[in-house]
Amino acid sequence: MSSPVVMIDKLAFGGNGICRIDGKVCFVPLSCPGDQVRLAVTAEKRSYLTARIIELITPSPLRVVPPCPLFGICGGCNWQHIAYSHQSTAKRDIHAETLWRGGRVEGERVGETAASPLEYGYRNRVQFKLHAGTGGLKIGFFRNATHVVENAVQGCPIALPAINSALSSLRVALASFPEPAAITQINIECGAQETVATIKYIGKNYDAVARFFQERFCELPPLSGIFLQAGHKSNLQKLCGDGYLAYPMPAAVPGSPPTTLVFRPGGFSQVNSPQNLVILGLVRRMAEFRGHEDLLDLYCGNGNFSLPLAKSVASVTGLEGYRDSIAAAQDNCRLNGVTNAEYVCADAAEGVARLAAAGRRFSTVILDPPRAGAAEAIPDLSRLNAEKIIYISCDSSTLARDCGLLAGHGYRVAESVPVDMFPQTFHVESVTLLHRG
Protein backbone atom coordinates (compact mmCIF):
# COMPACT_ATOMS: atom_id res chain seq x y z
CA MET A 1 0.00 0.00 0.00
CA SER A 2 1.28 3.49 -0.85
CA SER A 3 1.64 6.29 1.72
CA PRO A 4 -1.89 7.73 1.83
CA VAL A 5 -2.66 11.34 2.75
CA VAL A 6 -5.73 11.56 5.00
CA MET A 7 -7.58 13.79 7.45
CA ILE A 8 -8.00 12.54 11.04
CA ASP A 9 -11.71 12.57 11.87
CA LYS A 10 -12.01 11.90 15.60
CA LEU A 11 -10.56 10.11 18.62
CA ALA A 12 -11.31 6.51 19.60
CA PHE A 13 -11.44 4.55 22.83
CA GLY A 14 -7.80 3.62 23.46
CA GLY A 15 -6.54 7.09 22.51
CA ASN A 16 -5.83 6.75 18.80
CA GLY A 17 -7.13 9.05 16.09
CA ILE A 18 -9.38 7.59 13.39
CA CYS A 19 -9.48 8.04 9.63
CA ARG A 20 -10.57 5.88 6.69
CA ILE A 21 -8.39 4.38 4.00
CA ASP A 22 -10.17 2.70 1.07
CA GLY A 23 -13.29 2.43 3.21
CA LYS A 24 -11.53 0.77 6.14
CA VAL A 25 -11.22 2.33 9.59
CA CYS A 26 -7.60 3.17 10.40
CA PHE A 27 -6.26 3.85 13.90
CA VAL A 28 -3.39 6.34 14.11
CA PRO A 29 -1.48 6.85 17.40
CA LEU A 30 -0.50 10.40 18.42
CA SER A 31 -2.77 11.98 15.84
CA CYS A 32 -5.27 14.78 16.45
CA PRO A 33 -8.71 15.44 14.89
CA GLY A 34 -8.20 17.89 12.05
CA ASP A 35 -4.64 16.77 11.24
CA GLN A 36 -3.81 16.26 7.59
CA VAL A 37 -1.18 13.54 7.61
CA ARG A 38 0.76 11.15 5.43
CA LEU A 39 0.68 7.65 6.85
CA ALA A 40 2.56 4.40 6.69
CA VAL A 41 0.26 1.43 7.33
CA THR A 42 1.73 -0.78 10.05
CA ALA A 43 -0.87 -3.56 10.16
CA GLU A 44 -3.86 -4.65 8.09
CA LYS A 45 -6.60 -6.70 9.72
CA ARG A 46 -9.87 -7.94 8.27
CA SER A 47 -11.91 -4.97 9.54
CA TYR A 48 -9.38 -2.25 10.31
CA LEU A 49 -5.88 -0.87 9.76
CA THR A 50 -3.25 0.68 12.00
CA ALA A 51 -0.78 3.28 10.77
CA ARG A 52 1.86 5.73 11.94
CA ILE A 53 2.38 9.33 10.91
CA ILE A 54 5.35 9.83 8.61
CA GLU A 55 4.52 13.44 7.78
CA LEU A 56 2.32 15.99 9.51
CA ILE A 57 1.27 18.01 6.46
CA THR A 58 -1.19 20.41 8.12
CA PRO A 59 -1.48 20.37 11.90
CA SER A 60 -4.93 20.55 13.43
CA PRO A 61 -5.86 23.79 15.22
CA LEU A 62 -6.55 21.53 18.20
CA ARG A 63 -2.86 20.57 18.42
CA VAL A 64 -0.75 21.92 21.30
CA VAL A 65 2.91 21.43 22.24
CA PRO A 66 3.31 18.56 24.77
CA PRO A 67 5.23 19.77 27.85
CA CYS A 68 6.79 16.37 28.62
CA PRO A 69 10.00 15.35 26.82
CA LEU A 70 8.93 11.69 27.16
CA PHE A 71 5.55 12.19 25.50
CA GLY A 72 5.12 9.60 22.74
CA ILE A 73 7.86 7.46 24.27
CA CYS A 74 6.58 6.64 27.74
CA GLY A 75 3.49 4.45 27.88
CA GLY A 76 1.51 6.83 30.11
CA CYS A 77 -0.06 9.94 28.59
CA ASN A 78 -1.35 9.79 25.03
CA TRP A 79 -3.22 13.09 24.62
CA GLN A 80 -0.76 15.79 25.70
CA HIS A 81 -0.72 17.02 22.08
CA ILE A 82 -4.47 17.75 22.11
CA ALA A 83 -6.06 20.90 23.57
CA TYR A 84 -7.67 20.04 26.90
CA SER A 85 -11.08 21.46 25.93
CA HIS A 86 -11.28 18.91 23.12
CA GLN A 87 -10.12 16.08 25.39
CA SER A 88 -13.24 16.65 27.53
CA THR A 89 -15.49 16.70 24.47
CA ALA A 90 -13.91 13.54 23.07
CA LYS A 91 -14.31 11.68 26.34
CA ARG A 92 -18.03 12.44 26.44
CA ASP A 93 -18.45 11.26 22.85
CA ILE A 94 -16.40 8.07 23.37
CA HIS A 95 -18.24 7.27 26.62
CA ALA A 96 -21.64 7.77 24.99
CA GLU A 97 -20.74 5.67 21.95
CA THR A 98 -19.36 2.87 24.14
CA LEU A 99 -22.50 2.79 26.31
CA TRP A 100 -24.72 2.59 23.23
CA ARG A 101 -22.72 -0.16 21.56
CA GLY A 102 -22.22 -2.28 24.66
CA GLY A 103 -25.34 -1.55 26.71
CA ARG A 104 -27.86 0.14 24.40
CA VAL A 105 -27.86 3.25 26.60
CA GLU A 106 -29.22 6.21 24.65
CA GLY A 107 -26.84 9.11 24.09
CA GLU A 108 -29.23 11.66 25.58
CA ARG A 109 -28.75 9.98 28.97
CA VAL A 110 -25.03 10.89 28.94
CA GLY A 111 -24.12 14.26 30.42
CA GLU A 112 -21.25 16.57 29.61
CA THR A 113 -17.82 15.66 30.96
CA ALA A 114 -16.96 17.10 34.36
CA ALA A 115 -13.58 18.57 33.40
CA SER A 116 -10.66 18.50 35.80
CA PRO A 117 -9.68 21.86 37.33
CA LEU A 118 -6.05 20.71 36.99
CA GLU A 119 -4.89 19.75 33.51
CA TYR A 120 -1.42 18.89 34.89
CA GLY A 121 -0.01 18.37 38.37
CA TYR A 122 -3.07 16.44 39.56
CA ARG A 123 -1.94 12.86 40.10
CA ASN A 124 -1.42 12.00 43.78
CA ARG A 125 0.00 8.50 43.25
CA VAL A 126 2.77 7.48 40.83
CA GLN A 127 4.83 4.30 40.27
CA PHE A 128 8.38 4.91 39.10
CA LYS A 129 10.39 2.07 37.55
CA LEU A 130 14.15 1.74 38.14
CA HIS A 131 16.96 0.27 36.08
CA ALA A 132 20.65 0.24 36.98
CA GLY A 133 22.92 -0.18 33.96
CA THR A 134 26.22 0.95 32.55
CA GLY A 135 24.77 4.41 31.93
CA GLY A 136 23.84 4.84 35.58
CA LEU A 137 20.57 4.60 37.47
CA LYS A 138 17.41 5.41 35.52
CA ILE A 139 14.20 6.27 37.37
CA GLY A 140 11.11 6.80 35.29
CA PHE A 141 8.60 4.83 33.23
CA PHE A 142 8.53 1.95 30.81
CA ARG A 143 8.89 2.87 27.17
CA ASN A 144 5.62 2.24 25.39
CA ALA A 145 4.92 -1.53 24.98
CA THR A 146 8.31 -2.51 26.46
CA HIS A 147 10.02 -3.03 29.81
CA VAL A 148 12.78 -0.56 28.94
CA VAL A 149 12.96 2.22 31.54
CA GLU A 150 13.01 5.78 30.23
CA ASN A 151 14.65 8.20 32.64
CA ALA A 152 12.17 10.87 33.80
CA VAL A 153 14.87 13.36 34.72
CA GLN A 154 12.37 16.22 35.05
CA GLY A 155 9.81 14.13 36.87
CA CYS A 156 6.26 13.67 35.58
CA PRO A 157 4.16 16.71 34.60
CA ILE A 158 0.85 15.11 35.57
CA ALA A 159 2.14 14.27 39.08
CA LEU A 160 1.63 16.53 42.08
CA PRO A 161 4.65 18.82 42.65
CA ALA A 162 5.33 17.07 45.98
CA ILE A 163 5.83 13.77 44.14
CA ASN A 164 8.38 15.28 41.77
CA SER A 165 10.19 16.94 44.68
CA ALA A 166 10.36 13.63 46.53
CA LEU A 167 11.64 11.89 43.40
CA SER A 168 14.39 14.47 43.05
CA SER A 169 15.48 13.89 46.68
CA LEU A 170 15.45 10.12 46.20
CA ARG A 171 17.61 10.40 43.06
CA VAL A 172 20.31 12.13 45.07
CA ALA A 173 20.17 9.57 47.90
CA LEU A 174 20.14 6.54 45.59
CA ALA A 175 23.34 7.70 43.90
CA SER A 176 25.15 6.20 46.91
CA PHE A 177 22.93 3.14 47.39
CA PRO A 178 25.13 0.01 47.28
CA GLU A 179 22.59 -2.26 45.48
CA PRO A 180 20.85 -0.09 42.86
CA ALA A 181 19.79 -3.10 40.77
CA ALA A 182 17.88 -4.51 43.77
CA ILE A 183 15.35 -1.66 43.80
CA THR A 184 12.93 -2.16 40.93
CA GLN A 185 10.15 0.30 41.73
CA ILE A 186 9.34 3.27 43.94
CA ASN A 187 5.74 4.26 44.64
CA ILE A 188 5.11 7.80 45.87
CA GLU A 189 1.69 8.71 47.27
CA CYS A 190 0.27 11.92 48.69
CA GLY A 191 -2.45 12.73 51.17
CA ALA A 192 -3.53 16.27 51.98
CA GLN A 193 -0.33 16.87 53.98
CA GLU A 194 1.71 13.66 53.75
CA THR A 195 4.00 12.28 51.05
CA VAL A 196 5.02 8.64 51.47
CA ALA A 197 7.37 6.48 49.41
CA THR A 198 7.29 2.68 49.16
CA ILE A 199 10.57 1.10 48.07
CA LYS A 200 10.23 -2.24 46.27
CA TYR A 201 13.37 -4.23 47.10
CA ILE A 202 14.26 -7.67 45.69
CA GLY A 203 17.60 -8.17 47.46
CA LYS A 204 18.36 -9.96 50.73
CA ASN A 205 19.97 -7.28 52.92
CA TYR A 206 16.77 -5.95 54.48
CA ASP A 207 18.41 -4.56 57.60
CA ALA A 208 21.02 -2.69 55.58
CA VAL A 209 18.35 -1.19 53.31
CA ALA A 210 16.33 -0.10 56.32
CA ARG A 211 19.36 1.60 57.88
CA PHE A 212 20.21 3.32 54.58
CA PHE A 213 16.85 5.09 54.33
CA GLN A 214 16.46 5.68 58.06
CA GLU A 215 19.82 7.44 58.20
CA ARG A 216 18.93 9.65 55.22
CA PHE A 217 15.29 10.31 56.03
CA CYS A 218 15.95 13.93 57.00
CA GLU A 219 17.62 14.45 53.58
CA LEU A 220 14.50 13.35 51.65
CA PRO A 221 12.01 16.20 51.72
CA PRO A 222 9.06 16.36 51.33
CA LEU A 223 8.77 12.67 52.31
CA SER A 224 6.90 12.18 55.57
CA GLY A 225 7.21 8.40 55.55
CA ILE A 226 9.08 5.53 53.91
CA PHE A 227 7.99 1.90 53.58
CA LEU A 228 9.89 -1.16 52.34
CA GLN A 229 8.11 -3.74 50.20
CA ALA A 230 9.70 -7.15 49.82
CA GLY A 231 7.37 -9.30 47.72
CA HIS A 232 3.62 -8.76 47.99
CA LYS A 233 2.18 -5.46 49.23
CA SER A 234 0.86 -7.19 52.34
CA ASN A 235 4.51 -7.41 53.40
CA LEU A 236 4.97 -3.64 53.73
CA GLN A 237 7.36 -2.64 56.50
CA LYS A 238 7.37 0.91 57.78
CA LEU A 239 10.94 2.21 57.97
CA CYS A 240 10.31 5.71 59.28
CA GLY A 241 7.78 8.52 59.52
CA ASP A 242 4.04 8.41 58.87
CA GLY A 243 2.14 5.15 58.50
CA TYR A 244 -1.02 6.69 57.06
CA LEU A 245 -2.06 9.25 54.50
CA ALA A 246 -5.14 11.41 55.11
CA TYR A 247 -7.48 13.67 53.17
CA PRO A 248 -10.74 15.53 53.91
CA MET A 249 -14.14 14.89 52.34
CA PRO A 250 -17.11 17.27 52.72
CA ALA A 251 -19.52 16.55 55.56
CA ALA A 252 -22.92 15.09 54.81
CA VAL A 253 -24.61 17.65 57.09
CA PRO A 254 -24.05 21.33 56.24
CA GLY A 255 -22.06 23.10 58.94
CA SER A 256 -20.52 19.87 60.26
CA PRO A 257 -16.75 19.33 60.18
CA PRO A 258 -15.39 17.47 57.15
CA THR A 259 -14.89 13.72 57.23
CA THR A 260 -11.19 12.90 57.51
CA LEU A 261 -10.27 9.69 55.72
CA VAL A 262 -7.02 7.79 56.07
CA PHE A 263 -5.54 5.04 53.93
CA ARG A 264 -2.40 2.98 54.06
CA PRO A 265 0.34 3.04 51.42
CA GLY A 266 -0.55 0.52 48.72
CA GLY A 267 -4.27 0.81 49.40
CA PHE A 268 -6.55 2.14 46.68
CA SER A 269 -7.27 5.86 46.51
CA GLN A 270 -8.59 8.04 43.70
CA VAL A 271 -5.62 9.62 41.90
CA ASN A 272 -7.21 13.06 41.32
CA SER A 273 -8.32 14.54 44.64
CA PRO A 274 -10.43 17.46 43.30
CA GLN A 275 -12.29 15.10 40.97
CA ASN A 276 -12.87 12.68 43.84
CA LEU A 277 -14.94 15.47 45.42
CA VAL A 278 -16.84 15.90 42.15
CA ILE A 279 -17.74 12.21 42.12
CA LEU A 280 -18.92 12.36 45.73
CA GLY A 281 -21.13 15.32 44.82
CA LEU A 282 -22.64 13.41 41.91
CA VAL A 283 -23.31 10.39 44.12
CA ARG A 284 -25.07 12.62 46.67
CA ARG A 285 -27.21 14.27 44.01
CA MET A 286 -28.20 10.99 42.36
CA ALA A 287 -28.90 9.19 45.64
CA GLU A 288 -31.22 11.88 47.09
CA PHE A 289 -30.89 10.39 50.57
CA ARG A 290 -33.67 11.15 53.05
CA GLY A 291 -32.11 9.57 56.14
CA HIS A 292 -33.94 6.23 56.21
CA GLU A 293 -31.92 4.36 53.57
CA ASP A 294 -29.76 1.26 54.06
CA LEU A 295 -26.70 1.75 51.85
CA LEU A 296 -24.47 -0.99 50.44
CA ASP A 297 -20.99 0.08 49.28
CA LEU A 298 -19.35 -2.58 47.06
CA TYR A 299 -15.60 -2.39 46.42
CA CYS A 300 -15.68 0.17 49.24
CA GLY A 301 -11.93 0.67 49.73
CA ASN A 302 -11.30 2.82 52.81
CA GLY A 303 -14.91 4.06 52.81
CA ASN A 304 -14.08 6.87 50.40
CA PHE A 305 -17.68 7.45 49.25
CA SER A 306 -19.87 5.82 51.88
CA LEU A 307 -18.30 7.23 55.06
CA PRO A 308 -18.95 10.87 54.07
CA LEU A 309 -22.55 9.79 53.40
CA ALA A 310 -23.04 7.81 56.61
CA LYS A 311 -24.84 10.59 58.51
CA SER A 312 -27.31 10.94 55.62
CA VAL A 313 -28.56 7.33 55.82
CA ALA A 314 -29.76 4.82 58.39
CA SER A 315 -26.94 2.33 57.86
CA VAL A 316 -23.88 1.57 55.72
CA THR A 317 -22.49 -1.87 54.85
CA GLY A 318 -19.19 -1.94 52.95
CA LEU A 319 -17.54 -4.90 51.21
CA GLU A 320 -13.94 -4.95 49.98
CA GLY A 321 -11.53 -7.81 49.26
CA TYR A 322 -8.30 -6.04 50.29
CA ARG A 323 -7.84 -6.43 54.04
CA ASP A 324 -5.72 -3.31 54.58
CA SER A 325 -8.39 -1.14 52.97
CA ILE A 326 -11.04 -2.61 55.28
CA ALA A 327 -8.76 -1.94 58.25
CA ALA A 328 -8.48 1.67 57.08
CA ALA A 329 -12.29 1.92 56.70
CA GLN A 330 -12.75 0.65 60.24
CA ASP A 331 -10.15 3.14 61.47
CA ASN A 332 -12.03 5.88 59.62
CA CYS A 333 -15.25 4.97 61.42
CA ARG A 334 -13.52 5.41 64.77
CA LEU A 335 -11.71 8.56 63.68
CA ASN A 336 -14.96 10.22 62.58
CA GLY A 337 -17.29 8.83 65.24
CA VAL A 338 -19.38 6.90 62.71
CA THR A 339 -21.39 4.21 64.46
CA ASN A 340 -23.90 3.14 61.79
CA ALA A 341 -21.37 1.64 59.34
CA GLU A 342 -19.99 -1.88 59.09
CA TYR A 343 -17.06 -2.71 56.80
CA VAL A 344 -16.35 -6.36 55.98
CA CYS A 345 -13.42 -7.95 54.16
CA ALA A 346 -15.01 -10.10 51.47
CA ASP A 347 -14.88 -10.70 47.76
CA ALA A 348 -17.68 -8.62 46.24
CA ALA A 349 -19.49 -11.46 44.46
CA GLU A 350 -19.24 -13.83 47.43
CA GLY A 351 -20.20 -11.10 49.89
CA VAL A 352 -23.27 -10.08 47.89
CA ALA A 353 -24.33 -13.72 47.59
CA ARG A 354 -24.14 -14.09 51.40
CA LEU A 355 -26.14 -10.89 51.94
CA ALA A 356 -28.83 -12.03 49.49
CA ALA A 357 -29.00 -15.50 51.06
CA ALA A 358 -29.44 -13.89 54.48
CA GLY A 359 -32.40 -11.90 53.17
CA ARG A 360 -30.68 -8.52 53.47
CA ARG A 361 -32.20 -5.63 51.53
CA PHE A 362 -30.66 -2.28 50.60
CA SER A 363 -32.45 0.72 49.15
CA THR A 364 -29.29 2.05 47.47
CA VAL A 365 -26.12 0.36 46.22
CA ILE A 366 -22.89 2.17 45.36
CA LEU A 367 -20.26 0.20 43.52
CA ASP A 368 -16.80 1.27 42.39
CA PRO A 369 -15.27 -1.88 40.87
CA PRO A 370 -11.84 -2.25 39.29
CA ARG A 371 -11.42 -1.95 35.52
CA ALA A 372 -12.73 -5.51 34.99
CA GLY A 373 -16.16 -4.43 36.21
CA ALA A 374 -18.72 -6.17 38.42
CA ALA A 375 -20.24 -8.88 36.22
CA GLU A 376 -19.73 -11.66 38.76
CA ALA A 377 -21.66 -9.79 41.46
CA ILE A 378 -24.63 -8.71 39.33
CA PRO A 379 -26.86 -11.85 39.52
CA ASP A 380 -26.99 -11.77 43.32
CA LEU A 381 -26.88 -7.97 43.43
CA SER A 382 -30.31 -7.93 41.80
CA ARG A 383 -31.66 -10.05 44.67
CA LEU A 384 -31.03 -7.21 47.13
CA ASN A 385 -33.98 -5.28 45.62
CA ALA A 386 -32.19 -1.92 45.60
CA GLU A 387 -34.25 0.94 44.19
CA LYS A 388 -31.11 2.67 42.93
CA ILE A 389 -27.66 1.51 41.86
CA ILE A 390 -24.95 4.15 41.50
CA TYR A 391 -22.11 2.69 39.46
CA ILE A 392 -18.73 4.48 39.55
CA SER A 393 -16.62 3.16 36.68
CA CYS A 394 -13.11 3.67 35.34
CA ASP A 395 -13.80 1.72 32.13
CA SER A 396 -16.70 2.59 29.82
CA SER A 397 -16.64 -0.78 28.03
CA THR A 398 -17.09 -2.91 31.16
CA LEU A 399 -19.65 -0.40 32.45
CA ALA A 400 -21.59 -0.83 29.20
CA ARG A 401 -21.47 -4.62 29.54
CA ASP A 402 -22.64 -4.43 33.15
CA CYS A 403 -25.45 -2.00 32.30
CA GLY A 404 -26.61 -4.56 29.75
CA LEU A 405 -26.51 -7.29 32.40
CA LEU A 406 -28.38 -5.12 34.91
CA ALA A 407 -31.01 -4.38 32.26
CA GLY A 408 -31.72 -8.09 32.23
CA HIS A 409 -32.55 -7.79 35.93
CA GLY A 410 -34.88 -4.84 35.51
CA TYR A 411 -32.51 -1.88 35.94
CA ARG A 412 -32.43 1.03 33.49
CA VAL A 413 -29.86 3.79 33.15
CA ALA A 414 -31.30 7.17 34.14
CA GLU A 415 -28.13 9.16 33.54
CA SER A 416 -24.37 8.74 33.17
CA VAL A 417 -21.89 11.56 33.80
CA PRO A 418 -18.29 11.26 32.54
CA VAL A 419 -15.71 12.66 34.96
CA ASP A 420 -12.21 13.46 33.76
CA MET A 421 -10.11 11.87 36.47
CA PHE A 422 -7.15 11.39 34.10
CA PRO A 423 -6.35 14.48 31.96
CA GLN A 424 -3.85 13.96 29.11
CA THR A 425 -4.96 10.31 28.75
CA PHE A 426 -7.94 8.65 27.05
CA HIS A 427 -9.16 7.14 30.34
CA VAL A 428 -12.45 8.41 31.72
CA GLU A 429 -14.21 7.87 35.03
CA SER A 430 -18.01 8.03 35.14
CA VAL A 431 -20.93 8.01 37.57
CA THR A 432 -24.05 6.21 36.36
CA LEU A 433 -27.46 6.07 38.01
CA LEU A 434 -29.67 3.03 37.41
CA HIS A 435 -33.30 2.73 38.58
CA ARG A 436 -35.26 -0.44 39.03
CA GLY A 437 -38.40 -0.81 37.00
Task: Give catalytic residue positions.
Answer: 394
- 3-state SS assignment for residue 138: strand
- Going by DSSP bridges, is the β-strand pair 17-21/24-28 parallel, antiparallel, or unpaired? antiparallel
Question: Do residues 261 and 326 touch, judged by C-beta distance below 8 A?
Answer: no
Nearest residue to 185 via CA among 242, 146, 125, 131: 131
- The gap between the terminal CA atoms of the chain, to the nearest Å, is 53
Scanning 81-182, the segments in alpha helix (DSSP H) are 84-103, 161-174
Residue 356 C-beta-side C-alpha neighbours within 13 Å = 16
CA dist 193 → 239, 248, 337, 381 (Å): 19, 10, 22, 38
- 3-state SS assignment for residue 13: coil
Element (H, E) at 142: strand 136-142
For helices 84-103 and 396-407, what crossing angle results, to 10°? 30
Residues 6 or more apart whose CB falls under 8 angstroms from that of 437 comprise 410, 412
From the number of C-beta atoms within 10 Å of its C-beta (0-12, 13-18, 19+), residue 387 rates as middle
Element (H, E) at 215: helix 206-216
